[in-house]
Amino acid sequence: MKFFADTAEIADIKELAATGLLDGVTTNPSLIMKSGRDFHEVVKEICAVVDGPVSAEVVALDHPTMMKEAEKLRKIADNVCIKVPLTPDGLKTCKALTGDGSMVNVTLCFSANQALLAAKAGATFVSPFVGRHDDNGWDGMELIEAIRLIYDNYDYQTQILVASVRHGIHVLKAAEIGADVMTAPPSVIWGLFKHVLTDKGIESFLADWAKTGQSI
C-alpha cells in the first residue's frame, strides 16, 4: 500500500520523504489555508520534494472553469494530480483530463456507488473519506471493502485512496482490505512507528550494551 501525506507543510513533507516511505502528497483548500502560503508556490515546492503524485484541487464547480483551473495546475509540474469533487461536472472533468493523459483524484467519496461512477469516468484515484464516514455513524472501512469488491469484480484500474485517516487502525484495516493508497496527516504516519515493546526493547538493549563498556 502506498503512503501519501495529507498536508501542505513543506517541512513535514521533507522529513517524511527522508524516510523513503513517502509515495505522494494530497492537499486541499483547507490545508493550503492552514499553511498561509500561496497555493501555486506550495504545490510547486511539494512537487520538487516528492517524486510521486501531488494532488492539487480545483475550486470551481462547473466543468468549463474546472478545465481552465486544471490547465493552470498541470503546468506546475509533471507529477501534479488534479483533484476534482465527485459531482457530475467533476466526473465530466475527470473524463476529459484522464483522456488527455493527466492523473485525476476524485475526492469527497462517501458511497460505493459514487466510487463506481468515478471508476467509470476513468479516475486515477478515488478518495473515500473514512474518518468523516465514521463521524456520521457509518463504518468507513466497510465502505472501503465494498469499493474493493466492486473494483475487483470489473477489474477497474482506479486506485482506492483511503482519505480522512484518523489513526493507525484505519491504516491497518485499509492494508488488510487491499486499498491501493492511504493518505494521512504526518502525525498519524509517525505514530505507526510507535510500540511500547519496541521502546522497552531499545531501552533494555542499550542498558546491557552500556554494561559491556564497549563502543562500535
Q: What is the pLDDT of residues 164-192, one digit of tens each?
A: 999 999 999 999 999 999 999 999 999 99
Cell for 83?
A: 483533484
In the DSSP assignment, the letter for residue 105 is: E
DSSP string, 40-74: HHHHHHHHHH-SS-EEEE----SHHHHHHHHHHHH
Say how many C-beta atoms besides its own lie within 10 A of residue 208's C-beta.
9
Catalytic residue among 34, 44, 83, 211: 83
Task: List alpha helices for the chain, DSSP H.
Answer: 10-17, 29-35, 39-49, 63-74, 88-99, 112-120, 130-135, 140-154, 168-177, 186-191, 196-212
Domains of the chain: 2-212 (3.20.20.70)
Instruction: Encode pLDDT of 48-96 as tens digits.
Output: 999 999 999 999 999 999 999 999 999 999 999 999 999 999 999 999 9
CB-CB contact of 167 with 184 (8 Å)? no
Report the pLDDT value the prediction gives residue 133, as an integer from 0 to 100.
Answer: 87
Q: How confident is the model at residue 105 (pLDDT cuts 50, 70, 90)?
A: very high
pLDDT at 209 over 90: yes
Q: Between β-strands 159-162 and 2-6, what pairing exists: parallel, antiparallel or unpaired? A: unpaired
Average pLDDT over residues 23-34: 93
75 among known catalytic residues = no
Other CB atoms within 10 Å distance of the CB of residue 173: 20
Query: Which residue, chain included where needed, has cell 510500540?
Result: 195
Measured CA to CA, the distance from residue 160 to residue 124 in angstroms comes to: 9
pTM: 0.95
Q: Is the pLDDT of residue 205 over 90?
A: yes
